Chains A and B, each alone.
Chain A
Amino acid sequence: MHEMSLCEGIRTVIEDQARAHNVHKVTRVRVEIGKFAGVEKPALEFAFDVVMRGSVAEGAVLEMLDLPGKAMCFDCGKEVEIDDRLQPCPTCGGGKLMPTGGDEMRVKDLEAA
């Protein structure tokens, strides 16, 4: 979804940081993407190259780190990690899981030249 808008968000974050740290060239950008963030990684990579043109991060490498999906099981009351929103609870097999984590989309850090 909207990977282009996300990259515009990433560019804003990078430009704010570059100004604050007096950095003129960013060579690597690491982002954390949760399992349920709905981000299509190849699309994000493609959009990243396009959106960073003309910015301090033009040509920078985008590194994507996966964060696990987490959910609260309404049957056994435990917080569990899940790969898929629709999978049953790995602890008790229950089917009522409320996602509690995994929708993160964060710029983790930057490598500056």
Chain B
Amino acid sequence: MCTVCGCGDSKVEGHSHAHAHDHEHHHHHHGDTHYGENEAGVSVPGMSDARIIEVETDILAKNDAYAAVNRARLADLNALALNLVSSPGSGKTTLLCKTIEMLEDQPLAVIEGDQQTTNDADRIRATGAKAVQINTGKGCHLDGHMVGHAMDHLDLPRGAMLFVENVGNLVCPAAFDLGEDAKVAILSVTEGEDKPLKYPDMFAAARLALLNKVDLAPYCDVNLDLYEDNLRRVNPQIDILRVSARTGQGMDRWLEWLRTHLATKSDQKAAE
């Protein structure tokens, strides 16, 4: 790839690089013309070499560093962390309350993200579980830094499950790593079969999709198979479970998924 203009030598069918190459590429290794041997390894006509600082740093590098610290803390504790993402109203909090109830003695804690109110954390605490609410104010997503602070308040026991309920938003939280083991997308049957196609980034980033409120399916003329087809179109590797937090349908398979992933994590740690 040309590092001056960023263009590559690869081609996409039906797409060609339209911009003109008005700078020269000097690769005369034997003819002794060596441009681009300054610190940055690039040369741009009209720009003195010393003035370009090569950076190559991810814009979210700071967030990723916080996320890496969280991930290491969780690994030390053999704890499984899940980042629950969905649109508002998919039933995340109800699903979590039911999950906590069914998990019985499993140590766990919850981090709740919302723009305003402590309603969700209050609902979780009512089940007897530990919960910390993060109010993002105007923010549209949780980030690694916020979650690290929240973990400071939770005093997670070994082998715990940590559920992080992200801000209800199918766009922004896709890009912000929190240090989780997996993103779990929750999609309710009332949202429309094409939701995964409309917001592909989030469903492509998720390991598991919970198709929630399946008890309502007979009343809203939806095709559950089409939901699954569309999820696999944006993410061929995604696991999908049909559940209803209200009736409990399919919840045993979700619990099994959680326990399997927690056990896998402990095994990995033991193997190190």
Do A and B associate with each other? yes
Q: How large is the interface on A (under 10, 10 to 19, 20 to 34, 35 or more residues)?
A: 35 or more
B140 x A2 contact (CB < 8 A): yes
Q: Which of B10-18, B84-92, B207-215 contacts A (4 or more CB under 8 A)?
A: B10-18
Contacts of A49 in B (CB 8 A): none
Complex contact B59–A107 (CB within 8 A): yes
Chain B residues with CB under 8 A of A2: 140-141, 171-172, 175
User: When A1-B140, A81-B10, A83-B12 are in contact, do A12 and B62 touch as well, CB less than 8 Å?
Assistant: yes
- In the complex, A113 Cα to B52 Cα: how many Å? 9
Q: Select one of B14, B47, B201 contacting A111, CB under 8 A.
A: B47
Are B59 and A96 in contact, CB atoms less than 8 angstroms apart? no
The answer to whether B10 and A68 have CB atoms under 8 Å apart is yes
Q: A9-B62, A36-B201, A38-B201 are in contact. Are A90 and B56 (CB under 8 A)?
A: no
In the complex, A12 Cα to B64 Cα: how many Å?
A: 13
The reply to whether A109 and B10 form a contact with Cβ atoms under 8 Å apart is no
Interface size on B, residues (CB 8 A): 43
A83 to B42, CA, bound (A): 28
Residue B174 interfacial (CB < 8 Å)? yes
Closest to B235 in A: A98
The answer for the CA separation of A96 and B109 in the assembled complex, in Å, is: 36
Contact B52 A90 (CB under 8 A): no
In the complex, A96→B141 CA distance in Å? 29
- Among A23, A65, A83, A99, the residue within 8 A (CB) of B6 is A65
Task: Give residues 1-36 of A contacting B (CB, 8 Å).
Answer: 1-2, 5-6, 9-10, 12-13, 17, 21, 23, 30-32, 36
Quick one: closest A residue to B237, CB to CB?
Answer: A98
| Complex contact B61–A13 (CB within 8 A) | yes
Q: Are B54 and A109 in contact (CB under 8 A)?
A: yes
- Cα(A96)–Cα(B233), bound, Å: 6
Complex Cα distance, B14 from A81, in Å, reads 11
Interchain CB contact under 8 A, A38 and B12: no
Interface check A110, CB cutoff 8 A: yes
A13 touches B55 (CB 8 A): yes
Tell me which residues across on chain B come within 8 A of A13, comparing CB atoms.
Answer: 55, 57, 59, 61
B140 to chain A, nearest CB (A): 6
Point out the residues of chain B lying under 8 angstroms from A68, CB to CB: 8, 10, 12
User: B-side interface residues toward A, CB under 8 Å?
Assistant: 5-6, 8, 10-15, 40, 42, 47, 51-63, 139-141, 143, 171-172, 174-175, 197, 200-201, 204, 232-237
Name 9 interchain pairs, CB-CB below 8 A, sorted by A.
Answer: A2-B171, A17-B57, A38-B201, A81-B11, A104-B58, A106-B55, A106-B56, A107-B58, A110-B53
Name A residues whose Cβ lies closer than 8 Å to a Cβ of B: 1-2, 5-6, 9-10, 12-13, 17, 21, 23, 30-32, 36-38, 65-68, 74, 81-83, 85-86, 90, 95-99, 103-113
